[in-house]
């Protein structure tokens, strides 16, 4: 059986925009399980509890860039994201200017 081609970032965001609030919350929990944010040097020691900034938006707590693990994160690949430092710069939707 042929493997489905990976969706583009824009296709993923369109699909996500059609989710109900409950489905969107479930999606965040699913992505949190594979997210690298908690291992990132910029995240460490800040007291931040949230993850998946690429999906939810930038942190109100994290202020100093100490490095970035986003390019190797499974969430980055799953959503076909093209940016980095989401905790400081904002979600993929914000950085793409799709909003």
Whole-prediction pTM: 0.88
**What tens digit of pLDDT does each residue of 39-94 get?**
999 999 999 999 999 999 999 999 999 999 999 999 999 999 999 999 999 999 99
The two three-digit tokens of residue 57, written as one number: 């938006």
pLDDT band at 6 (very low <50, low <70, confident <90, very high): confident
**Element at 76 (helix H, strand E):** helix 74-78
């Amino acid at each position: 059986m042929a493997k489905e081609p990976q969706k583009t970032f824009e296709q993923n965001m369109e699909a996500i925009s059609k989710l109900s609030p409950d489905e969107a919350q479930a999606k965040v929990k699913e992505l949190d399980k594979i997210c690298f944010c908690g291992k990132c040097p910029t995240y460490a020691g800040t007291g931040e509890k949230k993850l998946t900034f690429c999906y939810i938006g930038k942190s109100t707590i994290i202020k100093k860039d100490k490095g970035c693990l986003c390019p190797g994160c499974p969430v980055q690949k799953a959503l076909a994201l093209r940016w980095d430092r989401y905790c400081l710069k904002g979600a993929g939707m914000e950085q793409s200017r799709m909003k």
